[in-house]
Amino acid sequence: MDIDRYLAAKKEDLTRKTSVVRNFNVFDLSYVPEQPLLREEAKAIIDAIMRYDHTGIPNNLLIHGARGSGKTVMLRYLARALQGKIAAEILYVSCRQHNTSFKILAHLVGIPPRGLAHSEMQRRFEELHPGRCVVVLDEIDLMSSKDPRYEILYFLSRNPRNYSTVMLSNNHRFMSLLDESARSSLQAESILFRKYNAGEVCEILHQRVADGLRQSPAPGIIEEIAALTTSRTESDIRVAIKGLYYTVTEPHFSIGQSFERAQRDVCIDVTNDLNDHTLLVLKAVGERQKENVRDVYQAYAVSCRQRGEKPYSYSHFYTTLGYLQSLNLILMVATKVHRAIAKRAELLIDERVLDAVVKHRFG
Ligand SMILES: Nc1ncnc2c1ncn2[C@@H]1O[C@H](COP(=O)(O)OP(=O)(O)O)[C@@H](O)[C@H]1O
Ligand SMILES: [Mg+2]
C-alpha cells in the first residue's frame, strides 16, 4: 500500500463528506450553545442562586436526571450568563476529572494536587474565595471510592463563609449514598431534569444545524432522529446529536444506520463513565448472566478482593444494579424457580464493548 496515496485519498474523502459542516464544535458533546433551550427546571436553579446571592444563606441543590438531559450544559451556561450580574462567584468542577475532595480543591485553587496538606489546601481556597461562592460539582456520583465520606461536601456545607453547593448526578440515588450527617448538613433541595420530549429534541437539533451546518438536512430527517431518540433511548440527546452527525457526514447511511452507530458510540461512553465499583458490578453481571443475583454478588466480591478493594455491601450492590438498569446497560428479570422467585440480571450491551472497557480500565 502506498501510504501517501492512501492518506491523500482519505483526506479528500473526509473533506468531501464534511464540507456541509461549518463548525464542528456543535457535535462536540461539551459544546455550550450561545442560547441553549431553557427548560422549565432551569428557573428553579436560577431562583436558588439568586436567593443565595441576595441573602448569603446557602441554598444547596442536587440536580439529577438521566444522562444527556442537559445538566452540565445548563450549569455551564448559567455560570457564563450570570457572571458579572451577581455578586456570588460560580465555580465549576468535573468530579470525573478531579475525583477526590483533595483533587477538587487543588483544581479550584489552581495548584497540582500534591505537596500540600489537605488543611492547607482548604485554607488557600478560603483565602481565594472569602465571599459568596457557588461550587458546582458535576458528576459527583463518579467520585472515587477512596473518598467515601465526600469530605468536600462537609468542607463546603459547614464552612463559616457560607458557600453554596450544586451537585449534579446521573444517579438519582446519590443522596442515599451519603451518610446521615452529610445529608443533614447539606439540606439539599432536589431538582429532577425530566427526559426531553420529541419536540424539545427537535428544537435542540435544529439549533445545532443553525449553529454549525451550511445547509439543513432533508425535511423530516430531524423529526425522524428525534422520534428514534425518544422511543429507543431515555431521550438521550447525545445519541440524537451523534445521529445527526453521522446523517450529515455519511450520506450513504440510512437514518437507522446513523442512529445505530450513534447508539454504539454513546454506549461505549456510558460504560467508560462508570466508576470502578460500578464497572466491576457490570463485569460480574456479564460473567454470570444465567445466575441468581446473589451469585453475581459473589463474583463481584471476588473481583474486588483480587484488586485489594473492599466490596460494596449486598444492599449497596443491589442499588447499583438498579442504577445500571436505569442506564439501560442491564435488565433485571424475575423468574420462578421451585415456587421461589429468583432474580437475574441480563447484560443489554455488547459483551465486547464491556470487555474492552474493563481491559482499558484495569489492564
Ligand atoms: N437544553 C439544551 N440546549 C442545547 N443543547 C443541549 C441542551 N440540553 C442538552 N444539550 C446538549 O446535549 C448534550 C448532552 O448534554 P449534557 O449537558 O452533557 O447532559 P448531562 O450532563 O445531563 O448528561 C450536550 O452536547 C449539550 O450541549
Ligand atoms: Mg453531564
pLDDT in tens, 233-246: 888 999 999 999 99
Q: What is the CATH number that goes with domain 274-362?
A: 1.10.10.10
Decide the pairing of beta strands 61-65 and 164-169: parallel
pLDDT in tens, 30-47: 899 999 999 999 999 999
Domain ranges of the chain: 40-193, 196-270, 274-362
pLDDT in tens, 206-224: 999 999 999 899 999 999 9
Domains 40-193 and 274-362 share a fold: no
Domain 40-193 has CATH 3.40.50.300: yes
Percent of the chain with pLDDT over 70: 100
Q: Which ligand is nearest to the CA of 32?
A: 1
Mean pLDDT of 292-312: 93
105-114, 191-200, 344-353: which is most confident:
191-200
The amino acid sitting at 99 is N
**Which ligand 1 atom minimizes the distance to the CA of 237?**
12
Residue 26 CA to ligand 2 centre (angstroms): 16
C-alpha cell at 75: 450549569
Separation between Cα atoms, residue 152 and residue 294, nearest integer Å: 34
First-to-last CA distance in the chain?
33
> What separation in angstroms does the CA of 333 have from each of 136, 294, 322, 348?
37, 13, 12, 12
Residue of the CA atom closest to atom 1 of ligand 1: 37
Characterize 207-243 residue by residue with b for buried, 16 or more Cβ atoms within 10 angstroms of its Cβ, and e for exposed. bbbeebbeeebeeebbebbbebbbeebbbbbbbbbbb
Q: Which residues, judged by CB distance below 6 Å to any ligand atom, belong to the binding site of ligand 1?
A: 29, 31, 33, 36-37, 39, 65, 67-73, 204, 237-238, 241
pLDDT computed for residue 261 by the predictor = 93
pLDDT computed for residue 82 by the predictor = 95
pLDDT computed for residue 171 by the predictor = 81
Q: pTM for this structure?
A: 0.83
* Consecutive H or E run containing 117: none
Separation between Cα atoms, residue 59 and residue 49, nearest integer Å: 7
